[in-house]
Amino acid sequence: MISIFHFVIIFMLILEIRIQLSDESEFLVDRSKKGLIHVPKDLSLKTTILNISHNYISEIQTSDILSLSKLRILIISHNRIQHLVISVFKFSQELEYLDLSHNKLGKISCHLTVNLKHLDLSFNAFDALPICKEFGDMSQLKFLGLSATQLEKSRVLPIAHLNISKILLVLGEPFGEKEDPESLQDFNTESLHIVFPMKKEFHFILDGSFSTVMNLELSNIKCVLDDNACSCFLNILAELQTNPRLSNLTLNNIETTWNSFIRILQMVWHTTIEYFLISNVKVEGQLDFRDFNYSVVTHVFSFPQSAIYKIFSNMNIQNLTVSGTPMMHMLCPSQISPFLYLDFSNNLLTDMVFENCGSLTVLETLILQKNQLKELAKIVHMTKEMKSLQQLDISQNSLRYDENEGNCSWTKSLLSLNLPSNILTDSVFRCLPPRIKVLDLHSNRIESIPKDVTSLEALQELNVALNSLTDLPGCGAFSSLSVLIIDRNSVSQPSADFFQSCQKIRSIKAGNNPFQCTCELREFVKNIGQVSSEVVEGWPDSYKCDYPESYKGTPLKDFHMSALSCNTALLMVTIGAITLVLAVTVTFLCIYLDLPWYLRMVCQWTQTRHRARNIPLEELQRTLQFHAFISYSEHDSAWVKNELVPCLEKEDIRICLHERNFVAGKSIVENIINCIEKSYKSIFVLSPHFVQSEWCHYELYFAHHNLFREGSDNLILILLEPIPQNIIPSKYHKLKALMTQWTYLEWPKEKSKRGLFWANLRAAINIKLEQAKE
């Protein structure tokens, strides 16, 4: 024995005999596997179904079931009954199903009055077929199970006129001593199942022309002694050709040689059989070589395999599955093949399969999953002549596509292409069937979908999960795309315009990607929020931030960023605009309204107000005669007399002018000091002239009276003209100090500002003085 090869070709439905137990009036009693040695006596009279199988019952008598007048189904299989007297059931008029299989029956006595539908006597110890004349009366019989070690035509005759749906015939040892090859020809059944003895070389001589049989099942076929050992079996098969009704053939448990096996297949090929099922094949290579040579193993394979391929490829069937075998090749059928569906998954097929094959023109589905395919270009070429191919599955191979190699001439009929688990890269998008609707490319090595990909207008479903894509594809080239699966890629910043581009999208699955939660993602998240949640599969659970670290694991739905912080241009424009407005305003205020001047005035005003509150007014009011003393230079006397004094006196402010309120007999300085002491405030009209000529009059006095001390508020400085710092004599450091403290009022050149100037001045000196003192 050189090799064991196990494969299955599936096409057939094995007829199952079902027992209808659904009737509500049924009363089931199950006493199986109870170790019984007799039929139990305590059964309910209502029993309709009795199961006493798998016990040690050796006898069945009339009294055992006499009272069970309603019994319909009786199962006594797997017991030890040796002798059956069928008349024991004569009082069970309802009985229609009797299973006596797997007993030790060798004898049967028939005085039958029961009309059974199902009678199973298979797997017993009968020598001859247990068919009595009375069986001919069972007009309802649909199933008959038999067992025998010898077949005689005469024994079949009583039932030849019955139309039995299925006959099961179990042939036991020792078989074949008294053979009648034509013994089974009178079986009138659609479905025949013959079980040959196990572990025994097949040398039965039977006429296989069962004229009524449509469904034939043969179990336990062993012919391994030499290639001719199978001739008996092959003869049976050869005769099957004479039965045009035969459509289904099942072979179970075949143990044979390669040559015989191939001949079996060939034989079947020449019949009318539509559904051919072989299960459990053990093929042994008994070679004609004298010397055993292990390298011949390849020959063992190659000879029978090529023959098998030829047989397979030329089979006159629509569906063929050969899966899980070491099959390395499959030939192109020699003429136009009726194959519609071929499943060769999980074999060892290479790119050479169906090369230049023009005879698979009606093939619709081809499955080459899990083989040894390597070059996509060759597979593309393979499909070229398959004019009806709609579905191709070439997943789990090692396919790659080299753009420079070969023409990309897919068959135009292809609608669904499965390419998962290969090693395809971006280039695959340059070679896809033009009318493809469903494309599965998951678990490949795609990094991006090229922009210049030829458009696939019919593409509806695209699966590119488990690749290395960094962005969602736009639908420019896939105008009908409705389902996109792109989870588990490297998409970090999906394009926000995806939903705009892909208007027809019904479902997108893009979770488990390493999303970068930065400004760029905002728009995408917003767009996702706008489409219905059924469209986005796995939302929100499988959509999480991966970067930056602070957002890691945050669901995308909870990721928010403000518009301003994300839009640099907007931010710059906003800041710029605000700065500009401020600058313009400040400039305008400074240039046209002299803001600094106003500021100083307002400042003075508030200081004055503040101080006024702290002065013990009552005392002042008693001792003072004047509101203010005014000192000025002769040069400025015109302004003082025409502007200042009239303006203040108009408001009932009393002014002390040293030349007007002159006290005779006192020096000028004494008069000045007299004036200062009687006045609430001292106003100095500052100008370059004043500083240079008049200030000296006061310096000494002020120093003496300590009027320059911090917080002194008796002085009001009016700056009539600007005084450059450098013309103030350096000895007047007090004056300099006063002026740098901004404690002076500036005389405005513009008339419009003068109102504020006067108001400010008046506020500084206005105090209610007692009239009496004057």
CB of 318 to ligand NAG, least distance (A): 4
Which CB contacts under 8 angstroms, 24+ apart, belong to 353-357?
Answer: 353/329, 353/382, 354/330, 354/382, 355/381, 355/382, 356/332, 356/385, 357/332, 357/333, 357/382, 357/385, 357/386
The reply on whether position 2 binds ligand NAG by CB under 6 A is no
The reply on whether position 319 binds ligand NAG by CB under 6 A is yes
The reply on whether position 166 binds ligand NAG by CB under 6 A is no
Question: Quick one: DSSP state of residue 462?
Answer: E
Nearer to ligand NAG, 47 or 51 (CB): 51
The region of 10-18, 525-533, 616-624, 673-681 touching ligand NAG under the rule CB under 6 A is: 10-18
Q: CA 293, 296, 300: angle at the middle one, nearest 5?
A: 130
CB of 215 to ligand NAG, least distance (A): 4
The region of 47-55, 307-315, 619-627, 701-709 touching ligand NAG under the rule CB under 6 A is: 47-55
Nearer to ligand NAG, 175 or 401 (CB): 401
Q: Which helix (H) or strand (E) holds 698?
A: helix 696-704
Q: Which of 9, 12, 195, 353 binds ligand NAG (CB under 6 A)?
A: 12
State the Cα–Cα distance between residues 670 and 196, nearest whole angstrom.
157
The reply on whether position 27 binds ligand NAG by CB under 6 A is no
Beta bridge mates, 277: 250
The reply on whether position 54 binds ligand NAG by CB under 6 A is yes
> Taking CB positions, which residue lies at the least distance from ligand NAG?
13
60-89 positions binding ligand NAG, by CB under 6 A: 75
255-284 positions binding ligand NAG, by CB under 6 A: 275
Can you say how many angstroms the Cα of residue 670 is from the centroid of all Cα atoms in its chain? 104
Nearer to ligand NAG, 242 or 293 (CB): 293
Nearer to ligand NAG, 19 or 570 (CB): 19
Residues for the chain: how many in total?
774
- Locate 424 and state its tokens: 């395809």
CB of 245 to ligand NAG, least distance (A): 8
The reply on whether position 398 binds ligand NAG by CB under 6 A is no
CB of 461 to ligand NAG, least distance (A): 20
The reply on whether position 430 binds ligand NAG by CB under 6 A is no
The b/e string for 91-109 (b: 16+ C-beta within 10 A; e otherwise) is bbeebbbbbbbbbebeebe
Q: What three-state secondary structure class fits 534?
A: coil
End-to-end CA distance of the chain: give it in Å, rounded. Answer: 150
- DSSP annotation string for 182-197: TTTTT--EEEEEEEPP
Question: How, if at all, do strands 143-148 and 164-171 pair?
Answer: parallel
The reply on whether position 13 binds ligand NAG by CB under 6 A is yes
The region of 121-129, 157-165, 304-312, 534-542 touching ligand NAG under the rule CB under 6 A is: 157-165
State the Cα–Cα distance between residues 162 and 183, nearest whole angstrom.
16
Give the list of residues 6+ apart from residue 543 with CB closer than 8 angstroms, or none: 510, 511, 513, 515, 528, 536, 555, 556, 557
498-557 positions binding ligand NAG, by CB under 6 A: none
CB of 548 to ligand NAG, least distance (A): 50
CB of 377 to ligand NAG, least distance (A): 8
CB of 54 to ligand NAG, least distance (A): 5
Nearer to ligand NAG, 409 or 500 (CB): 409
The reply on whether position 318 binds ligand NAG by CB under 6 A is yes
Q: Which of 407, 454, 606, 712 binds ligand NAG (CB under 6 A)?
A: 407
Question: How, if at all, do strands 416-418 and 118-120 pair?
Answer: unpaired
Beta bridge mates, 254: 221, 281
The reply on whether position 3 binds ligand NAG by CB under 6 A is no
Give the list of residues 6+ apart from residue 676 with CB closer than 8 angstroms, or none: 629, 682, 701
Q: Which of 44, 115, 139, 140 binds ligand NAG (CB under 6 A)?
A: 139
Number of residues that bind ligand NAG (CB under 6 A): 27
The reply on whether position 388 binds ligand NAG by CB under 6 A is no
The reply on whether position 250 binds ligand NAG by CB under 6 A is no
| Among the listed residues 97, 43, 90, the one whose alpha carbon sits nearest the alpha carbon of residue 73 | 97
The region of 124-132, 292-300, 442-450, 542-550 touching ligand NAG under the rule CB under 6 A is: 292-300
The region of 155-163, 475-483, 693-701, 764-772 touching ligand NAG under the rule CB under 6 A is: 155-163
Nearer to ligand NAG, 252 or 319 (CB): 319
The reply on whether position 215 binds ligand NAG by CB under 6 A is yes
The region of 293-301, 418-426, 678-686, 749-757 touching ligand NAG under the rule CB under 6 A is: 293-301
| Phi and psi at residue 88, to the nearest 5° | -60, -20
Q: What three-state secondary structure class fits 639?
A: helix
CB of 161 to ligand NAG, least distance (A): 6
Nearer to ligand NAG, 139 or 712 (CB): 139
Nearer to ligand NAG, 161 or 610 (CB): 161
Q: Which of 7, 47, 48, 53 binds ligand NAG (CB under 6 A)?
A: 53
Tokens 């000895």 found at: 731
Work out the burial of residue 28: count CB atoms within 10 Å of its CB; fewer than 13 is exposed, 13-18 middle, 19 or more buried: exposed
Nearer to ligand NAG, 77 or 443 (CB): 77
| Among the listed residues 162, 166, 163, 168, the one whose alpha carbon sits nearest the alpha carbon of residue 130 | 168
The reply on whether position 162 binds ligand NAG by CB under 6 A is yes
| Among the listed residues 412, 451, 459, 403, the one whose alpha carbon sits nearest the alpha carbon of residue 431 | 403
Binding mask of the shown chain, residues 327 to 356, with x at each position contacting ligand NAG by CB under 6 A:
--------------x---------------
The number of C-alpha atoms within 13 Å of 362 and in the hemisphere containing its C-beta is 11
Region at 402 (left for phi over 0; alpha for psi -120 to 50; beta for the rest): beta
CB of 158 to ligand NAG, least distance (A): 12
The reply on whether position 247 binds ligand NAG by CB under 6 A is yes
State the Cα–Cα distance between residues 191 and 669, nearest whole angstrom.
151
- Locate 127 and state its tokens: 């020598």
Give whole-number Cα distances, 202 to 122, 123, 719, in Å.
20, 19, 139
CB of 10 to ligand NAG, least distance (A): 9
- Which residue type does 377 have? A
Q: Which of 6, 33, 46, 731 binds ligand NAG (CB under 6 A)?
A: 33
Q: Which of 6, 104, 161, 610 binds ligand NAG (CB under 6 A)?
A: 161
State the Cα–Cα distance between residues 92 and 301, nearest whole angstrom.
60
CB of 415 to ligand NAG, least distance (A): 16
The reply on whether position 586 binds ligand NAG by CB under 6 A is no
| Among the listed residues 237, 99, 116, the one whose alpha carbon sits nearest the alpha carbon of residue 168 | 99
The reply on whether position 320 binds ligand NAG by CB under 6 A is no
Nearer to ligand NAG, 401 or 539 (CB): 401
- Locate 523 and state its tokens: 């728009």
The reply on whether position 163 binds ligand NAG by CB under 6 A is yes
| Among the listed residues 138, 132, 142, the one whose alpha carbon sits nearest the alpha carbon of residue 115 | 138
The reply on whether position 214 binds ligand NAG by CB under 6 A is yes
CB of 499 to ligand NAG, least distance (A): 37
Give whole-number Cα distances, 266 to 233, 234, 240, in Å.
13, 10, 13
Q: What is the CA radius of gyration of the chain?
A: 58
Nearer to ligand NAG, 432 or 521 (CB): 432
- Locate 210 and state its tokens: 């069962």
Binding site for ligand NAG (CB under 6 A): 12-13, 15, 19, 32-33, 51, 53-54, 75, 139, 161-163, 214-215, 247-248, 275, 293, 295-296, 318-319, 341, 406-407
